Amino acid sequence: QKEVEQNSGPLSVPEGAIASLNCTYSDRGSQSFFWYRQYSGKSPELIMFIYSNGDKEDGRFTAQLNKASQYVSLLIRDSQPSDSATYLCAVDQGAQKLVFGQGTRLTINP
Amino acid sequence: DAGITQSPRYKITETGRQVTLMCHQTWSHSYMFWYRQDLGHGLRLIYYSAAADITDKGEVPDGYVVSRSKTENFPLTLESATRSQTSVYFCASREGYSNQPQHFGDGTRLSIL
């Protein structure tokens, strides 16, 4: 069973601080990695994707990938209350499918 | 730009009934997916389709049937609903390239009494 593991949280971060969300995966053959944000009662919304080792930045969000360690993370700088949501890590399983972690619930405290 | 739409948004039915959840996308994406989301299990793949008339099982296909006669539509049918199929169902689509992200519909909240 190819797995994606996330700390379920809740992760509580003060407003303006950096939120760090982590994800590990078991399939060494995985090539594509995605972060989705899901507000309560809503559908998953794509935040970022990353394919290569290193960092990828988009506004306040930075995705980090380390394939040797099978580790992908999402950093949120200058956290805002509107960032409070569940963050899902998704990893390609090959065969055109994604495997999702169970998500980390993030709360930003004003 | 309608994107991907699911209907109905909410559905209540009884055990043993047949129910069909609809999914329609306007992007002409080749790939479409059905997931269910339950507390403690996260998102689990039910079925997916690579193109019209091509479908394949995901992680939890039992009790579900899919079809894809047109690229834009991917209905999911529960032939004889059971209480264990009470869940939130999400449809997603993706372009043909495997490194492209999936985009989700708003979901259908299904309750089976």
- Convert the pLDDT of each residue in B54-83 to its tens digit: 999 999 999 999 999 999 999 999 999 999
Q: What is the mean pLDDT of residues B88-105?
A: 91
Detail the DSSP E strand segments found in B2-112.
4-7, 10-13, 19-25, 31-38, 42-51, 54-57, 64-66, 76-78, 87-94, 103-104, 108-112
Distance from the Cα of B79 to chain A's closest Cα (Å) equals: 25
Q: Is residue B1's pLDDT more than 70?
A: no
Contact B98/A100, CB-based, under 8 Å? no
DSSP alpha helices (H): ranges in A13-106? none
Inter-chain residue contact A102 with B41, CB threshold 8 Å:
yes
**What pLDDT, on a 0 to 100 scale, did the predictor assign at position B40?**
78
Question: Mind telling me how many Å the CA of B82 is from chain A's nearest CA?
Answer: 23
Among A32, A43, A49, beta carbon nearest to B104: A43
Q: Which residues of A touch B103 (CB under 8 A)?
A: 46
pLDDT given at position A95: 64
- pLDDT: is A27 or A94 the higher one? A27
Contact A100 B43 (CB under 8 A): yes
Neighbour tally for A102: CB within 10 Å: 18
Q: Please give, rounded to a whole number of angstroms, the shortest distance from the CA of A32 to a CA of chain B.
A: 6
Q: Reply yes or no: is the peptide bond before residue A110 cis, omega within 30 of 0.
A: no
Lowest average pLDDT, out of A16-20, A53-57, B11-15, B95-99, goes to B95-99
Nearest to B42 among A34, A45, A102 (CB): A102
Check pLDDT > 90 for residue A69.
yes
Residue B2 confidence class, pLDDT cut points 50, 70, 90:
low
Structure tokens belonging to residue B105: 């519909």
If one compares A7 and A72, the residue with the highest pLDDT of the two is A72
Asked if the Cβ–Cβ distance from B41 to A31 is below 8 Å, we say no
Q: Between residues B77 and A93, which one has the greater pLDDT?
A: B77
Chosen from A96, A99, A105 to mutate, greatest number of chain B CBs within 10 A: A96
Residues of chain A with C-beta less than 8 angstroms from the C-beta of B107:
42-43
Contact list, B99 vs chain A (CB under 8 Å)? 31-32, 49, 51, 92
Angle (CA) B31-B34-B38 rounded to 5° is: 145
